[in-house]
Amino acid sequence: MDNTIPKHKATAIALVNQMIGGLEKRQAQLDIKQNTLDVMTLVRDRAVAAMIASDTAVATASELVGILNAADAELKDYLRDARCVLVHFLGSRWTQLWAATGFPKQSTAVPALSSSREVLAGALKKYFENNPQHQDPFLQVTAANADALKTRVGNARAAFAEATSDGRKKRIARDAAFAALRKRMRGLVTELQTVLEDDSAHWLAFGLNIPDSEATPDVPENVIAKPVTATLTDVKWKAPARASHYRVFQRIIGVDAEPVHVGSPADPDFMLENLPPASTVEITVSAVNDGGESAQSEPVTIVMPSVVPDAAMSPPGT
């Protein structure tokens, strides 16, 4: 039976942790010289740190795009209010009188592009500075507010661009760290092949399959996850060949560094419980028999609802 190194990053971390556990107990006994406990721990720690850094960068970028969208929405509202105020002075249809305001394309419509809205805010600042009698302080349609909102959107856009660039660099570093990790994991499998018989039970201590044992089950496919409430998710999958039971894993993004085993059902369905509302959850499933455990399925990612649906909160029959 083959010992394939998983491509899925969190699954690879789970396996290398088992390999490290095996080295802690049997490195001296088996005279492992190349892919030692210290070496494997170092490459594992680098990969975990790189994955956490990448996940953090993604979370930061997601937060910053929310800030950018909020600032842009506020600017859009300001531009609508400014148009309504200016209509009283310049008329409802675009004429040459509107040219100095900066509304583009001979139209009084608020631009569809965020970058164009920034440019318009800058033009309105100058217009209201030159025509202070057209301002409406009650509606905050002023030169100062145009400048403040333009600055806020510009700063938010710059912060998001910087976070996106940082995230790209951290993703490249993460992928390089995992390439080095997988190379060492393959190296340990090769080294073990020189010191262990194919039917040795010592393979299991490293989280690996016994080469001469029964074939492991196929990897579960068609994993589907559907939130039932803000904290419960129903998970189903297609039963693979040779499976006697399953292992279900979850990883809450931004919380768990690797998949957490949460259940071992006999049937191809399972209910995940006590999930944080509004969290992003990555779900994988493996299949098990007497020959060992399959690789974990391709991860399925879901976003939990932020509140419990009314139907879920109502007692049956109401």
Q: What integer is the mean pLDDT of 44-66? A: 94
Could you read off the pLDDT of 249-283 as tens digits, one per residue? 999 999 999 999 999 999 999 999 999 999 999 99
Q: Tell how strand 280-289 and strand 233-238 pair up.
A: unpaired
Amino acid at 98: W
pLDDT of residue 2: 77
DSSP secondary structure letters along 82-140: HHHHHHHHH-SS--GGGGGGT-STT--SPPSSHHHHHHHHHHHHHHHHH-GGG-BGGGT
Question: What is the 8-class DSSP label of residue 233?
Answer: E
Cβ-Cβ contacts under 8 Å for 128 (sequence gap 6 or more): 134, 135, 141, 142, 143, 146
List the structure tokens of 90.
């310049």
Could you read off the pLDDT of 85-114 as tens digits, one per residue? 999 999 999 999 999 999 999 999 999 999
| Domains of the chain: residue spans and CATH | 1-213 (no CATH), 215-318 (2.60.40.10)
List the structure tokens of 226.
């559907």
Whether the predicted pLDDT of 311 surpasses 60? no
**315 compared with 14, residue with greater pLDDT:** 14
Whether the predicted pLDDT of 122 surpasses 80? yes
Coil, strand or helix at 238? strand
pLDDT of residue 35: 97
Q: How many residues would you count in the chain? A: 318
- 128-132, 238-242, 285-289: least confident range: 238-242
The CA R_g of the chain, rounded to the nearest whole Å, is 29
pLDDT of residue 86: 97
Q: How far apart are CA 50 and CA 255, in angstroms?
A: 15
Q: How far apart are CA 21 and CA 12, in angstroms?
A: 14
Q: 0.85 cut: is pTM over it?
A: no
Coil, strand or helix at 311? helix
Percent of the chain whose pLDDT exceeds 90: 82
pLDDT of residue 157: 94
pLDDT of residue 318: 36
Whether the predicted pLDDT of 28 surpasses 90? yes
If pLDDT is split at 50, 70 and 90, which confidence band does 76 have?
very high
pLDDT of residue 314: 36
Q: Tell how strand 260-263 and strand 269-272 pair up.
A: unpaired
Q: Which of 143, 173, 296 is nearest to 223 (CA)?
A: 296
Coil, strand or helix at 287? strand
Q: How far apart are CA 251 and CA 190, in angstroms?
A: 30
